[in-house]
Amino acid sequence: EVQLVASGGGSVQAGGSLRLSCAVSGFNFDDYAIGWFRQAPGKEREGVSYIMQGTGSTDYADSVKGRFTISIDNAKNTVYLQMNNLKPEDTGVYYCAADRTRFPELGVWVSWSYWGQGTQVTVFS
């Protein structure tokens, strides 16, 4: 059974940092893309970043490039999203997701098969 458990959210002042974790189980990292998505109140869910361990490829939404970094710790079966220089517009519920695909798409969140519960990130000015 595929399971994803997200953690690490919190409340931080603009310019601060947070690291989100997504503990995964039930599948082989090499076969799946792992992504982070977020949803602000009243807005549609949007893709933030993904990583593919099998190929080493990553991608980021333009709004977070240069500020967020996604990584995998294979020993811990955990995917991290390091978020630096946070802005109030980064506020939202962050979800991790997984999909067995060679061509993950951040722009089509409904195509991702497995989801963890969300973790709240609040950035205040």
Q: Bin 86: left if φ > 0, else alpha if -120 < ψ < 50, else beta.
A: beta
pLDDT of residue 43: 96
Q: In Å, how far are 18, 53, 65, 125 from 100, measured between CA atoms? A: 27, 12, 24, 38
pLDDT of residue 53: 82
Which parts of the chain register pLDDT below 70? Answer: none
The owner of tokens 């205040």 is: 124
